[in-house]
Structures are given as structure tokens and as C-alpha cells.
Amino acid sequence: MDKWDKRFMELAEVIANWSSCYQPNRKIGAVIVKNKRILTTGYNGAPAGYTSCMERGECLRRKANIPSGTHHEYCYAVHAEQNAIAQAAKMGISIDGATMYCTHQPCVICAKLIINSGIKRVVYKYPYPDELAVHILTAVGVSLEKYEE
């Protein structure tokens, strides 16, 4: 990893603090970069205009006792990676060939969006229990790298 990886991972961690997720260990941040330039950012939270779990004072997933890495659809939040990709689409920014820095390894749903958006490299800091995501990303040639300081 080089100094740019360090800078963009630090930024992903700052952005994670903007999360409206109720769970303190699930504040996720993402930064999409190309040619050392920040294209978009994202953090996990409720869709625009919808009441967040932080505002509700409870987590839907914890209330239903859903284990991490399963049933991603059973959550009000849009993932950080999804928000960063959606922001690029909304703003008309091409992310083809870009790198995504994430605080956590993407889930399988995000992995499929990453692939189809043209992102070629994903750097993450913390693991996530989703081996299918790892398999799909690496099978199609997306570079998946664990960030080590």
C-alpha cells in the first residue's frame, strides 16, 4: 500500500462517521477514486427522506436477531458502496476503471454493483463474513485488497 491508499482509507473512515446506522460497529464509509482524484463518497444510512435507525432509536436487524452477513435486504440502510455508486450515477460521473476504498469488505450485493459499475480495484480495512462476495469479485478480475497499515 502506498501513501495514496493511506489517505483515501483515512477519508473512508472519516466518512463512515457520518453514518446514521444505529450499530456503532457498523458505521461504513466508501470513497471512489480515479487518477488520485475523489469522484464520489458514500456512507450507510436510510434512503434520502426516510427515517434512519438512529432517529428511530433501534436497529431492525438486531430487533429480529439477524446474523451479520445474511439477509442484507432486511435493513433500512443503503450500503456505503451503493450510495457512492448511486451518487456517481446521479451526478453523471463515470467510475469505470476506478478504485473503491471501503472501511469494510463489500457484501455480495455491493460486489455485483461494483463489478457492473466498472470499478476495477477495491481496498478494504475490515473483513465481512461474505465469501460469495470475495468469490464473485475475484472471479471476474476485480482486485480485492485488504488494507494493512
Distance of alpha carbon 63 from alpha carbon 66, whole angstroms: 8
Q: At 123, is the secondary structure helix, strand, or coil? A: strand
Q: What's the CATH number where 80 sits?
A: 3.40.140.10
Q: Which three cell numbers stand for residue 59?
A: 436497529
Low-confidence ranges of the chain (pLDDT < 70): none
Mean pLDDT of the chain: 94
Structural domain boundaries enclosing 141: 3-146
Annotated binding site: 79, 107, 110
Which is catalytic among the residues 55, 58, 73, 81? 81
Long-range contacts of 65-73 (CB under 8 A, 24+ apart): 68/128, 68/129, 69/107, 69/128, 69/129, 69/130, 72/107, 72/108, 72/109
Dump pLDDT digits (tens) for 99-110: 999 999 999 999
Dump pLDDT digits (tens) for 49-75: 999 888 888 888 888 999 887 888 888
Contact 101, 123 (CB under 8 A): yes
Please confirm, yes or no, whether 58 is among the known catalytic residues.
Answer: no
Annotated binding site for Zn(2+): 79, 107, 110
What total of structural domains would you count in the chain?
1
